[in-house]
Amino acid sequence: MPPENVSKPMTDTELEAWESTRDLEAELIESARQMAEGQTSVVYSPVIAARQASGLS
């Protein structure tokens, strides 16, 4: 994941360097494990509420 203390978007060069170090397979496996173990939470926002109220979601 990108550094949490970032206050501005990364430049294209910084983003490319960060993405080149990622192990997407490991991230996906970890995410699936967390979901299977119920370690996830659902985040609701006003946008989600509006989409559900309008029937878009």
Is residue 37 a part of any domain in this protein? yes
The residue ranges of the chain whose pLDDT is under 70 are 1-6
What pLDDT score was predicted for residue 41?
85
Q: What is the C-alpha separation between 1 and 19, in angstroms, rounded?
A: 9
Residue type, 29: I
In which region does residue 27 sit, left (phi positive, over 0), alpha (psi from -120 to 50) or beta (all else)? alpha
- Hey, what amino acid is at 45? S
33 lies in some domain: yes
- 44 in a domain, yes or no? yes
Q: Is residue 7 part of a domain?
A: no
Tally of domains within the chain? 1
Which domain, by its residues, includes 34? 12-54
- Residue 3 in any domain: the answer is no
Threshold 0.85, pTM exceeds: no
- Give the torsion sign (CA, 19, 3, 23, 28): negative
- Domain membership flag for residue 2: no
The string of pLDDT tens digits covering residues 1-15 is 555 665 788 999 999
Asked if the structure places residue 5 within a domain, the reply is: no
